[in-house]
């Protein structure tokens, strides 16, 4: 991959350069000393991946991520001294389209490969996801009319790059008495899941917490996948985790969860696929639709990364393709009881 590094600390830049040098298929094409320069260099020479620090002079990594994803979108991995100490900024940047976050590696010259393994693993995963082009569906591709009237109701949501921001908008638009259980599978490292639940709780009228093994689905509660294993529906109304399939680059996988809902859930379900890179969730959304469930994909205009929703639209997996601001009102309308 062609990689750009945005970091104002020479030592951090050098460690990242040395780590990337361990992989001959990676090339550092530019180095930016602040966020503003990163935006400029992306426009001049777009990389496959930007390694973006959060705290920089002139323009921080959050604003740089926003501007890059607006003007010249590409994959962004947040690389900062302490992800845990910057949780709020991490999710702000992920809301603008950053894919993931990792602590700045510390190079051990006695065993350089092992000391940067976690850093390189993140980059390897992103490399497997890159390659999706943007796609604009017709405004009237799907026009079916749906209403949900069964008592057991589940909203299954999948998101990746740009997901935190999209999820915050969606959840903020729901009422406190929303009469359905909500489960979210967001591509995020398990170390950040609890922080993301807290971050979403800032504006959500519904309680958001990390899903635990054996949790029962409850109307008005939002459960967030919380490990690098896949979340799935294991019984009629209980969820849990599984390491299989182990070879999926997406962990946790949206497809795994959607497929389990289509197989196990006995009530009515709605599948929602939001912004994200790659194709995870598209096949599962198609399965939900084929089982008679209502499905939504986020539109291109409001997606930070139009990869997963594009794949769903291409497969005909979405009943409706909507801007993020219209998804919550649509869910509310669908859940009204028929007189």
How does pLDDT run across 233-260, given as a tens digit for each residue?
Answer: 998 789 999 999 988 888 899 999 999 9
Break the chain into its structural domains and give their ranges: 2-129, 153-334
The stretch 177-183 carries a mean pLDDT of 95
pLDDT at 150 over 70: no
pLDDT at 151 over 80: no
Which residues are known to be catalytic?
A: 160, 187, 280
Residues 6+ apart with CB under 8 A from 83: 90, 101, 102, 103, 191, 192
- CA-to-CA distance for 157 and 185, rounded, in angstroms? 6
Q: Tally Cβ neighbours within 10 Å of residue 195.
A: 18
How does pLDDT run across 74-110, given as a tens digit for each residue?
Answer: 999 999 888 777 888 898 999 898 988 998 988 887 7
The stretch 217-224 carries a mean pLDDT of 95
pLDDT at 171 over 60: yes
Which H helix or E strand runs over 269? strand 268-273
Q: Two tokens at 19? A: 């780590």
Fold of 153-334: Rossmann fold (3.40.50)
Cross-strand pairs, 321: 297
How would CATH label the architecture of 2-129?
3-Layer(aba) Sandwich (3.40)
Q: Is the dihedral of CA 81, 50, 201, 268 positive or negative?
A: negative
Residues 6+ apart with CB under 8 A from 51: 3, 4, 5, 6, 7, 16, 77, 79
pLDDT at 211 over 50: yes
Q: Two tokens at 160? A: 């990746």
Query: Which of 217-221, 264-268, 327-331 comes out lowest in average pLDDT?
Result: 264-268
For residues 102 and 118, the answer to whether their CB atoms sit within 8 Å is: yes
Are 2-129 and 153-334 the same fold in CATH? yes
Closest alpha carbon to 169 in 322, 338, 16: 322
The stretch 309-314 carries a mean pLDDT of 96
Which H helix or E strand runs over 333? helix 324-334
């Amino acid at each position: 991959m062609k990689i750009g590094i945005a970091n104002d600390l020479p030592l951090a830049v050098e460690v990242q350069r040395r780590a990337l040098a361990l992989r001959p298929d990676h090339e550092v094409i530019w180095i930016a000393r602040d966020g503003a320069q990163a935006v400029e260099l992306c426009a001049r020479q777009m990389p496959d991946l930007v390694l973006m620090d959060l705290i920089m002079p002139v323009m921080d990594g959050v604003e740089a991520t926003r501007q890059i994803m607006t003007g010249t979108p590409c994959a962004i991995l947040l690389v900062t001294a302490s992800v845990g100490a910057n949780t709020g900024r991490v999710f702000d940047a992920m809301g603008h389209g950053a894919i993931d976050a990792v602590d700045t590696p510390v190079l051990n010259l006695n065993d350089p490969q092992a000391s940067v393994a976690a850093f390189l693993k993140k980059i390897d995963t992103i490399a497997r996801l890159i390659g999706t082009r943007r796609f604009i569906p017709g405004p009237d591709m799907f026009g079916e009319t749906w209403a949900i009237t069964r008592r057991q109701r589940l909203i299954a949501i999948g998101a990746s790059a740009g997901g935190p921001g999209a999820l915050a908008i969606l959840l903020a638009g729901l009422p406190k008495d929303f009469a359905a259980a909500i489960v979210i599978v967001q591509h995020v490292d398990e170390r950040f899941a609890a922080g993301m639940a807290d971050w979403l709780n800032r504006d959500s009228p519904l309680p958001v917490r990390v899903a635990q093994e054996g949790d029962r689905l409850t109307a008005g509660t939002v459960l967030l996948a919380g490990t690098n294993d896949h979340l799935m529906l294991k019984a009629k109304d209980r969820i849990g985790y599984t390491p299989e399939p182990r070879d999926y680059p997406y962990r946790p996988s949206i497809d795994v969860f959607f497929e389990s809902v289509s197989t196990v859930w006995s009530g009515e379900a709605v599948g929602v696929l939001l912004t994200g890179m790659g194709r995870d969730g598209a096949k599962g959304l198609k399965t939900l639709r084929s089982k008679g469930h209502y499905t939504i994909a986020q539109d291109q205009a409001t997606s930070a990364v139009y990869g997963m929703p594009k794949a769903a639209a291409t497969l005909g997996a979405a009943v409706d393709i909507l801007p993020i601001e219209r998804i919550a009102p649509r869910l509310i309308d669908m859940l009204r009881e028929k007189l």
